[in-house]
Every structure is written in C-alpha cells, then in structure tokens.
Structure 1
Amino acid sequence: MWRSGMIVCAVCVCWGMCVEVCEGGGLVDAVSERRAEVTHRRDSANLLTATGLLSLTILTVWSFKHRRLIFLHETGLAMIYGLLVGVVLRYGVHTEQDISNVTTVCVLESSPVSLVVNVSGHFYEYTLRGEINEGDHATNTEILHKATFDPEVFFNILLPPIIFHAGYSLKRKHFFRNLGSILSYAFVGTLISSFVTGLVMFGCVVLMSTLGQLDGDFYFTDCLFFGAIVSATDPVTVLAIFNELKVDVDLYALLFGESVLNDAVAIVLSSSIVAYQPSGENSHSFDGGAMLTSLGVFLGVFSGSFVLGSAAGVLTALLTKFTRLRDFPLLETALFFLMSWSTFLLAEACSITGVVAVLFCGITQAHYTYNNLSTESKKRTKELFELLNFLTENFIFSYMGVTLFSFQHHVFNIVFIIGAFLAIFLGRVVNIYPLSFLLNLGRANPISSRFQHIMMFAGLRGAMTFALSIRDTSTYARKMMFSTILIIVFLTVWVCGGGTTPMLSLMNIRVGVEEDQEYLGEECVSGHDSAWPFRLWYKFDHDYLKPLLTHTNHPLTQSCCTPLRHCLTTQHCQQDGDDDDSELILNNRDSLLYSELRDLSDSSISSNQDREGETLTGSETRRSIRVSCCVIMSDRFSCFYCRDDLSGKKFVQKEDNKPVCVRCFDKFCANNCAECRRAISTDSKELHYKGRYWHEDCFRCSKCYKNLAKESFSVKDDRILCGKCSSREDAPRCHACYKPILAGTESVEYKGNVFHDDCFTCYKCKKPIGSESFITKNENVYCSSCHESKFSKHCTACRKPITAGGVNYQDQPWHSECLVCVVCVKPLAGTRFTSHEEKLYCVDCYKTHVAKKCSSCQNPITGFGKATNVVNYEGGTWHDYCFTCKKCAVNLAEKRFISKDGNIYCSDCAKKL
C-alpha cells in the first residue's frame, strides 16, 4: 500500500511541475494555433474563389460559343467576374481590425522588410505586409490583404507557362517567313513607342504640376518606365478571335510574332530604365555615361537571357536524344516540364530576365526537342502547356478585376489617364505606319494598309503590362501608373476585343482560311527569296544543328567530320532519320533551296523516248503531265558540255540534237521546280503547265498542300488549286460566321446576304429560322414568337400580346374581346360606352348602376346623347333642360337664378314671391 501511495505522490508532483512549466507557454501556443487555423481557412476561401471564378468563366464562355456570341472574349468576361468579386470583398464583407493599441518605441525613416521584436525575452520576426492609411482599421483590411497576391507569385508561378506556351506554340512557317518584319516591329517599334509614350506622359506630368494635381514626385525616368511597360502589347483576345474565324495567316503571324517578342523587349527595356543612375547629385538628371550603361544593360540582359534560354533548350534536346527517356513517356514529359520551368528560375537567379529566357527556351524546345519526344510526350506537352496557359491567363485577368477594389492605395488622376490613352495611341501610330512603309520597300509581299489598320487596332494591353506595373507600387508615381494601367487594360480588352469582328468585316480581311493548310501552302516569300543571313542560317540549321540535336533529317555521318559523326549520331537516327517534320517551325523544304539557278530557256528537254502522260481536266483549265525518261543507250557519242564519251551510257538529247550526259543535264539544262526552286533531275518526274515546271511531289494545291499530280485542278491568280479549295475560294461567305458556303450546303439568302441555314437565326432566341416565318425589326431578324413577346403590344386587361386586330382606348391597347362591360360582359368595341372609376360600362348598365338621377325628372344622367350637359347645385344634379324656373318653367342652365325653399326661380318670379 505504501508503495502505491508513493507512486501516486510522485505522479502528482510531476504533474504539478509540468503544469507550472507549461502554464506560461500553453496559452501562446493555443493562440498561435488558432491564428494559423483562421489563416488556413481564409487562404482556402481565397483559392476557392479563384477556382470558382475560372469555372464560372469557362461555363459562360461555353454558353457564348454555343450561341456564337463573339463580341466578348473569355479574358474580358474573367475581368467582369473579377470586378464583381472585388466589389463584394470591398463593400460586402466587413471585419474589424483593431490597431488602436500602438506603442511607439522608436521612429524609423524607412519601412524595414522584416522586423525582430523582443517581447519579454522572446524574439519574434515580423514581415512587411503594406502601408495602413487613415481609416483602414475600420474596414476589412485583413481580407483585402489576403486577396492581394505577392507580385513574385506572378513572375515565378503565373507568367512562365504563358510565355513558354507562346514560344512552344510558335511552330508555323509564316512566323519565320515574316521574321524581318516581326523583329522590326518588336525591337524598333517597341523602342519608338516607349519613348513617344514617355515624352507625351512627361508633358501630362508637367500639366498636372501646373494645375496643382501632382501630390508627389514624378520624374522623367518614371515617364520612360511607364512608356516601356505600357508598350507591351498582349492581343490575346484578338488572336483568339482570329483563330476562331481563321483569319489571314500573314496577319496572324505578324500580330502573334510581334506580341511574343514585344513582351520580352518591354521587360528588358523597363529593367534598363530602372538601372539608369546618373553620377551627379540629381539622380534624375541626364547623364550620357549612365545612358550608355543602361544601353549596355539592355543588350547584356537580352543577349544573356537569349543565350541561357537557347542553351537550356539545346541541353534538353541532347538529353532526350542520347537517352532512352522516350521509352518512359511520363518521365520524359516530367523532365521536359522541369527543364523548361527551371530556365525561368535560373535566369532570374542570375539577375537576367526569365521572361526572355523561357520564351527562347520554348522556341528551341519546339524546334529541336519536340522531334525527339515520343508520340505520347508530344501530345502531353502540347496539352499541358495549353491548359496551363489558359488557366493562368484567365486567372490573371480575373485577378485584375479583383485588384481594382482590393488594392488600397490607388491613385487615379483624370488628366494622367486621358494622357495615357493619347500617348499609347500616338505610340502605336508612329510604330505601325512608318515602319510598315519602310518594310514594304523591301518586301516582296507588302503589308497592306488593311493589315496595318488591324495591327493598329489590335494593340491591346494585358497580362505583361499588369505584371510589370504591380511588381513595385511603393512610390506615388508607381501607384498612379498601376491604377492607370488597370483602366487601360480594362478598356482595351473590352473595346478592342469586342470590336475585332466588326473591324475585320469593315477592313474586308480574309476569314475562313484553314490555318494549318494555309500555313503550309499559301504563296508567300520563300526561303530562297529571303535575306542572305536567313538563308545561311537555314542551311546551317538543316545540315548541322538538326542532325546534331534531333533524330530528324540526314544523320551527321553525311555532313560532319569522321571523328565526331559516329559519336553524335544515334542508332535511332540511323534507323529512322527522316521523321515527320510537318509540325516544326521550319521543315526540310524550306532549307533545301540553294541549288544554283541558270536561265536556259533555249534548251528545253527532249529525248528519243518521251511519253506523254494523261491529260486531266480541272474546273477551269487543262494541263498535261510530262514524264521525262531522258535516258537512252548509245554506241558512240560525246557530251556537248564535258566531252565525255557517251558510248554505252545514258544521255539526254536536247532539241537542237546535241547529246548531254546525265550529270551535265542536271547541272546546266534541267528546269527548276516552281515550288522548291531545286533542279528537276533526270531521275525525277516532271510536270509542266504554262511555262512552269514542278517535281511530281511539289505539284500541290497552294492552299491545302494536296498533291495534284493525278488529280484535277484549277488556276486562279496564278495559284494552283484543287477542286475543293477552288470551290472554297469562289463560294460566297456566310454573313453571320464569315465562313464559306460550299456547294450543296443548305443556305438562306435575305436582302442580298447569304447565310448558312444554321446561321440564319432569331436575334433573340438564337434558334434557326428554317422554313418558319420571321419578322425584321431594326435590321434584326426575329421568329414570330420572339417578335410578339418583344415588340407586340400587350392587352391592358389580360397582358397577352395582341397579334391581330385590337382596339385602343385612352392610348391603351386592348383585345376586342377583352374590352367588355364590367356588369353585363357585353363587348364594347364599336359601341358607345363610358368609364367610371377606371371601369368600363355599356350605356344601359351605366344608366342602371352608376349614373346619377336628375333632381327634376328622376331619369339617369348619362353625360351623352340628349343629356350631354349637366347642372350641379347644392348637391343636386339636373339635366340642363330640366333646370327650369319653378313658376314660369324658363330654362336657367346658363342664367341667373334664385333658390328659395329648395326650389329654383328666375329673377322675375323671385321678385313676385
């Protein structure tokens, strides 16, 4: 027993000691745990709101696409939903935050990023969350702080997928065929636009200072910084509409290429302006040395980012080429994703620009690494980055709407906002039109004025401009820039994005073009006609880089020196060296354009054995296919060019009967293919039409790229077209969706416009009209039911639409069967009736139930017929003809009278009484 008692005492003593030790810290731990739980719930609610916004945006966009409403893109819709959530957070949710108990220990000149506080010997670290203005403690400051993300989240999490996708999806040939123009717009145009915008904004700042509307410092360098970040165009809305309508590929390539490189130039330029530090006391004065330093920073950062991004892409290509990762598609996709994202983080860690690095990493990955991936990985990487791009881009636009209300330090100034719109308009004008004029001087395919107007109109501002402005809002100038940029992004996305389709119609831009086919087949400036630096690069890329980094094209054993070629050529490349290259940025056909061309029109091909191919009839013309055998056996001849003995050898006999060996014929006499520009050798089949020649494989439709060697074709504007594409060219276009209406397709013609049967719909319910009747109102078409519900007058009694007949009473419409007496329910249309206390009565019912009785004759006074006029006196009512003298019976309706003892007398009779 005593042992049990001692154990109990020991346990009690230990328990008391534990309680004493933990008493002080237990309360603190409980409070911290409760605070962490509240923070966790609030963060979860914020993320739930973001995902809910995206889900709602997706459902609404589906509804718009289902109803073919293209006046509002998903980005503009996401901004609207974000605005609604911001309004709710700002004005609908209120939480008190008590900051009244403030103990002033010391006064600091600047706000520290982190602060260590000693509380009773315990040290706690606090981080800066933001400035609190007067009155903030009475509002929901905590919620608004939570709704405002760290700007680094944008640059490290949200921006990389968007920028990488822009480079990785850049696989169309027209980008590189317009590369000179795109580089001019992106580099020279952005610089011009930035400085023009900066100068105009400096004038606005001077005007604001004169008017006394400037409450803080705003220097010329701040204006240049604003011009740099606002010059980053992001026509995502316009490009999405272009993609849906299948707009002209050259216009799409110019806009897409400019926007991709423009973002990179804008971010490097803004960093260079921030790096401008004059050596004098005035940190904002002009200093030539500082300007050269900024220029060096610009070139160094851009080139360093370019090299880093390209090197990362090359490294990934080598890893996927010389390893067997393609046997494990999941691992291959994971490595591809991590290497791509790491490029951005590595560039930022090296103090260069991750945006430029990840952009060129995406281009390099698409050009080289993509060819080494397995079929599953190709599909996965495309879909993965397309999904990430969609979600992050829409999230940013939603967050823009929330930020308009959640950001608590906005500085709006009407002069600055109007000046900003004027500045970006002028900057865009001096960017597009002068550069287009200069570029057209050297372009074989000039940029039309219609294209220039569309490019001018499509200068929207978007995610990059927003991200650059929100990164630093510490000063008065940066806060004003951020607030103004929000307004600019909202209006440009809504106005320019919503006006894209009418603008395309106004400018008569081609739509309904099959994108992939057009990119592959459209006549444009070929690689042979490009500038010589690009031709040299294409050849070097085709002969060395692609064989080195990919499994495609010929292996290095055909072009590299002996010690290296076997080491750098994989077994997969030797077995399958001609992979499909149709999805690359540049394929083999673009780089094999370097055979020497000679004008030998006097040496047309002839031979002793020529056979004429079949003659095929196209929709507009006829052509013949000529197969040149060009080879016969001989006993004793010599070549006209090289004098080699042709005895027993194959040769070609020209039209002037001069024999030529096969090698010299291919070198001097062979015709050049009109498509690939290469000589048509004797071992190739040759097709000719109106003085032009093609390889059999090169004779293709200029739109869909279908081989026409054995197919009918037609010619339009010197373009070879297959029957299907020719019918598309000649087919009328639907007035609603702008797509061609092919022969045999059901269509509707109305007022000179042609519609698909499914596109001729009711303006309200969007259902196809078909064979039903319809009504036109304000140039819009309505089905009968919608027209009745929207425009027909509604009966005052039953509130149903009046489709035919009807009557009006006191400017109100009625069905004729609804206009009835309230007593006997007799129809009143076409009969005499009256109204009393807003109720309708026929004459008989009015006399019987409503009309007053004459004080003289006791008959009802109806107010119509003979008893039109009524006399009222001292509560009595008379017909005007019954209002007579009691004695002489003279009518007193409009005469003087005297009342005595309840009777009415004329003046004469009253005197005699």
Structure 2
Amino acid sequence: MELYYSFSILIILAAIFSYINVRFLKFPSTIGIMIIALIMSIILVLLGSLTSKPLNDIASLIKEFDFTEILMGCMLNFLLFAGAIHINMSDLKEQRLPVIIFSTLGVIISAIVVGAGLYYTSNYLLPLINVHTEIPLIYCLLFGALISPTDPIAVLSILKQANVSKSLETKIAGESLLNDGVAVVLFAVLANLAYNPVVVATGRMDLSFAHIFDLFLREAVGGLLLGAALGYLAAYAIRTSHDYKVAVLITLAVVMGGYLIASSLHTSAPLAMVGAGLIIGESRRKLGTNKNSSVSTFWELIDEVMNAILFLFMGFQLLLIDDLIHYWLLGIICIIIVLFARFISIKIPTIIIPFKEKFSKGTIAVLVWGGLRGGVSIALALSVPESDYKETIIAVTYVVVVFSILVQGLTVGKVAKDIQ
C-alpha cells in the first residue's frame, strides 16, 4: 500500500499544481507544473535549514520511486506511443532524410562535441580560476551521450504550444522520437568502458565497428521492426473489432505487452512504441469517426496525466541533489557547450548532405533552440553507476535540463515566430 499512497500524493500534487498553473500562471501545462515543483523544492530546501522534517519527508517520498525505472521502463513507453500515434506518416515520409540524419549522425556529433567541451572546461579552463572539478574524458563523453538526444516528451509537449511550420514541427518531433536508439547505444558502450570491471582492469573493450553496429541493429533497428510488427497486428485487430472499447484495450496491450517483448529480446522498447504508434496512428486515420475520436481522446488524456506526473518528478529531483550550488558555474558553461554542440550537429549535416530542402539560418535556429532536453537525460544520468563523478554528472544534467525546458521551452514559439 505504500506505493499506492505515494502515487496518490503525486497525483494530488499534480492536480493542484495543474490548477494553479491554469488559473494563475497560464504557462504550457508541463512547464507550469515543473516551475511550481521547483519553487516548492527551493522552499523545502530553505525550510530544511530550519528544520529538516519537511525536507526529509518529501525527499523520502521521491526516493521511494526509482525515477530511471519508472521513466525508462514505464512512462516513456506510454508517452512515446501517445506522441507517435498523432504524427502523420505522410508528413514524416516527406522529412525522412533530415529526421534520420539528425537522429543518428547528429547525436554522434553532438556527443563528441559536448564530451570534448566538458573535458577541456573541467580539466583546463576551470582550474585557471581555482575551480577544481576535473572529469576524465570517458565520463565527459558519457555525459555527451546522455545529454545529446532531444527529449521526445519535452519536445512534443512544447511543440503543441509553439507556432512552427508543419515541416519544421515534423523534423523536430520525428528526430526526438527516433534519436533515443543511437543515444542508448552510445551510452551503453561508454558506460561499459567506464564501469565494466574487466575493462577497467585490462583496459580492453570491443569498440570495433562490427560490435557497435550489432548493438545499434539490436537496439534501434530491432526495436523499430518489433514496433512495426505489433503496429500492423494491432491495426488489423482494431479494424476488425468494430468496438471502440476493444480498440482502446488493444492499444494498451501493445504498449504494455510490447515492453515485455522488447525487454526479453533486448531491443529498444521506446523505439518499438514509436514504430507501433506511427503505424496504428496512420491506420486510425482511415477508421470511422467514433473509433478514431475515442482512441485519440484516451491517449490524449494518458499523455496529459503522465506528462504532469513526469514534470512534477523533474521539479522535485532538485531535492535529491546535494550542494547543487557547487556546480552552478560548470552547469552554466555546459548549457553553452550543449547549445553549441546542437548547432554543430545540425549545421554539419546540412553542409555535407544534399537535402532536397534548403535549410535557412532561421530554420537552423529553431532546430537548435527547439532541441529540448528532459526526463530521458535525467533518467540516464541517474542510471550512471556510483563513482566519484556521478554527482557532478547528475547536477550538471539537471542544470542543462531545467534551462532547456524553462528558457528554451518558453521562448521557442517566439523564436519561430520571429523568423517566419
């Protein structure tokens, strides 16, 4: 029952914060909830200097939940499916080349640039001003891998509020849905290199192209193929069921059962949900109005509720970071590094690859500023095994994510409007 009580408290807080945001702040719902949670976290930290009880009580509640497992093993699958089911496949096909390039080559370029930038900053730049947070190169690259993918949850929720063109929205949304596979492979390889006892002892790891390509095929391609198979099977069942309640149950079964299958096959469950959602969504558009609207309404509700809980979680994660103020300078520098890396990861492909569509400076600006980081990066940072550098990675990741969601998320619509 403890889990039930804890989850009930989170739902109650999400409802209260949502009401406060809609009634007074009037921000996009996810951003408003996160702002209120951050303010509450700061108040609790300040109260903690007087009496530790309220701080310890809330911190204990947050610690009861394994954020990485909850997000990566449950919520992400629901949220990705809910996002993918509303994307038009014909729009995505038109933008398939930039989406594929930005979600693969772009992530790799960004991870390398971020890793190099953090390594130079922590080991050479900050010591000049007597700030010592030296981080080995492998951990810098690990941070680059976890912070480089744009977060599909943050991106999709913010794009609903931003006034961007359809083609640009498809590029950003499509990339954010697909780039998890590459990021997971990079993160897994680098984490094994950093933490595997055999690798640490011998200094040897299989970094051959064949091994990494095999990981990518199993995680990314395997996940998408599994999702496609589940999607076609579910779409057929929905078409022949002629019952909207059964249609909703089928989509739930795809998400929950698909995760179990993907886990047993060691493929990417999030990408499987993207593949299934895209195919079911495309099939859904050809169905009758009642079935179409019922499934759509159900997944919009799921999307809203889980987004509210997720961003509430992210706001309260501040309570779990000791001495965040100690990392403020490195965090601010990393914000600049991540934005620069995002620019490079977009600019280089547009120069070397002959896209049919020319990328203007304005389009690149929106792609850079609209590349939000969110819960996926925090979850990966929290999943980093214990080491002397874990707290630094978590704190810096949190600073970048908060800036990304609050500053970039609130201004991406204005940036898009100014270039149009």
Q: Secondary structure at the match of 2:179?
A: helix
Structure label with greater radius of gyration? 1
- Quote the offset at 1:187 in angstroms: 0.9
Q: Is residue 2:169 matched to residue 1:252?
A: yes
The match for 1:427 is 341
Q: Using the TM superposition, give the Cα deviation of residue 179 of structure 1 relative to its aligned residue in structure 2, in angstroms.
A: 0.8
Instruction: Say which SS state the counterpart of residue 461 (structure 1) adopts.
Output: coil
1: CA distance, partners of 2:385 / 2:60:
14
Cα distance change on mapping 1:374 and 1:442 into 2, 3 Å: closer
Check the 8 A contact 2:78/2:303 in 1, yes or no. yes
Separation in 1, partners of 2:82, 2:50? 41
Q: Name the counterpart of 2:237.
A: 319
Distance 1:428 1:286, change over 3 A: farther
Greater relative CO (CA pairs within 8 A, separation 6+): 2
CA displacement 1:729-782 (0-9 Å, x = unmatched): xxxxxxxxxxxxxxxxxxxxxxxxxxxxxxxxxxxxxxxxxxxxxxxxxxxxxx
Map 1:435-834 to 2 at 5 A. Answer: 435-439=349-353, 441-443=354-356, 445-472=357-384, 474-507=386-419, 509=420
Q: How far apart, in 2, do the equivalents of 1:267 and 1:376 lie?
A: 38
Give how far 1:367 is off.
3.0
1 CA distance for matches of 2:164 and 2:339?
A: 24
5+ residue gaps, structure 1, are 1-35, 97-135, 510-913
1:639-671 deviations in whole A, cap 9, x for unaligned? xxxxxxxxxxxxxxxxxxxxxxxxxxxxxxxxx
Q: Deviations over 1:359-397 (max 9, x none)?
A: 1121122234x3686643322221122211122122211
1:80 to 35, 46, 53: 35
Query: Partner letter of residue 233 of structure 2?
Result: L
Aligned-residue offset at 1:94: 10
Measured after TM superposition, the shift of residue 183 of structure 1 is: 0.9
> 2: distance between equivalents of 1:499 and 1:437?
27
Gap change, CA 1:220 and 1:84, over 3 Å in 2: same
Q: What is the distance in 1 between the residues matched to 2:367 and 2:28?
A: 18
Q: Separation in 2 of the partners of 1:259 and 1:93?
A: 38
Cα distance in 1 for partners of 2:250, 2:76 equals: 20
Match of 2:144, SS state, is: helix
2:104 partner amino acid:
F
**Residue 248 (structure 2) aligns with:** 333
**In structure 2, which of residues 128, 132, 143 is the aligned counterpart of residue 213 of structure 1?**
132
Residue 174 of structure 1: how far off its partner (Å) = 2.4
Alpha-carbon distance between aligned partners in 2 of 1:329 and 1:459, rounded to the nearest angstrom:
36
Cα distance, 1:143–1:255 mapped onto 2, change above 3 Å:
closer
- Does the Cα contact within 8 Å between 1:304 and 1:352 map onto a contact in 2? yes
Q: Which residue, out of 129, 135, 139, partners 1:222?
A: 139
Could you tell me whether the CA contact under 8 Å between 1:195 and 1:227 is conserved in 2?
yes
Summarize deviations over 1:494-548 as a string: whole Å, max 9, x none: 22122234323432x1xxxxxxxxxxxxxxxxxxxxxxxxxxxxxxxxxxxxxxx
CA separation of 1:434 and 1:375: change in aligned 2, threshold 3 A: same
Do the aligned partners of residues 143 and 238 (structure 1) sit closer, same or farther apart at CA in structure 2, a change above 3 Å counting? Answer: closer
Aligned partners of 2:114 and 2:144 also within 8 Å: yes
Residues 145, 186 of structure 2: 8 Å contact kept: yes
Cα 1:331–1:73 change in 2 (3 A) is closer
More helix by share: 2
Counterpart residue identity of residue 74, structure 1: S
Which residue type is aligned with residue 252 of structure 1? E
Give, as a single letter, the amino acid of the residue that structure 1 aligns with 2:382.
I
What CA distance in whole angstroms lies between the structure 2 residues aligned with 1:174 and 1:373? Answer: 19
Distance 1:306 1:435 in 2: 23
Distance 1:290 1:352 in 2: 20
Q: Corresponding residue for 2:299?
A: 385
User: Displacement of 1:193 after TM fit?
Assistant: 0.6
Mapping of residues 95-494 of structure 1, within 5 Å: 141=56, 143-148=58-63, 149-150=65-66, 151-171=68-88, 173-207=90-124, 213-214=132-133, 218-234=135-151, 243-244=160-161, 246-276=163-193, 282-283=200-201, 285=203, 289=207, 292-320=210-238, 324-326=240-242, 328-368=243-283, 370=284, 375-408=289-322, 412-439=326-353, 441-443=354-356, 445-472=357-384, 474-494=386-406
Cα offsets for 1:54-112 (capped at 9, x unmatched): 223433443469xxx6xx4322211121123324544547999xxxxxxxxxxxxxxxx
* Aligned residue type for 2:368: M
CA contact (8 A) 2:163 2:416 kept: no
Tell me the SS of whatever aligns to 2:389.
helix
Deviation at 1:244, TM superposition (A): 4.4
Report the Cα distance in structure 1 between the residues aligned to 2:49 and 2:7, rounded to whole angstroms.
19
CA distance in 2, matches of 1:289, 1:173: 37
Change (3 A) 1:260 1:223: same
Question: Using the alignment, how far apart are the partners of 1:298 and 1:411 within structure 2?
Answer: 38
Q: In structure 2, the residue corresponding to 1:476 is in which secondary structure?
A: coil
Q: Give the structure 2 partner of residue 531 of structure 1.
A: none
Q: Is the 8 A contact 1:309 1:361 kept in 2?
A: yes
Shift of 1:231: 0.7
Measure the CA separation in 2 of the matches of 1:179 and 1:194. Answer: 22
Rate the CA distance shift 1:268–1:381 in 2: closer, same or farther, 3 A: farther
| 2:155–2:371 contact (8 Å) kept in structure 1 | no
TM-score normalised according to structure 2 size: 0.85
Secondary structure at 1:447's aligned position in 2? Answer: coil
1:430, distance to aligned residue in structure 2 (A)? 1.0
Q: Against the structure 1 CA distance between its residues 334 and 227, is the aligned structure 2 distance closer, same or farther, given a 3 Å change threshold?
A: same
Determine if contact 1:53/1:81 at 8 Å carries over to the other structure: no
SS of the residue 1:422 aligns to: helix
Q: SS of the counterpart of 2:140?
A: helix
1:454: Cα distance to partner? 1.4
- Matched AA of 1:83: L
Larger strand proportion, structure 1 or 2? 1
- For 1:468 and 1:284, how far apart are their aligned partners in 2? 26
How much is the aligned-residue C-alpha RMSD, in angstroms? 3.4
CA contact (8 A) 1:95 1:140 kept: no
Which whole-Å CA distance do the structure 1 matches of 2:22 and 2:58 have between them? Answer: 32
**Cα shift at 1:431:** 1.0
**Partner-residue secondary structure (3-state), 2:87:** coil
Counterpart of 1:50 in structure 2 is 10
Q: Shift of residue 424 of structure 1?
A: 0.7
Structure 2, gaps ≥5 residues long: none
Amino acid of the structure 2 residue aligned with 1:486: Y
CA distance in 2, matches of 1:371, 1:427: 38
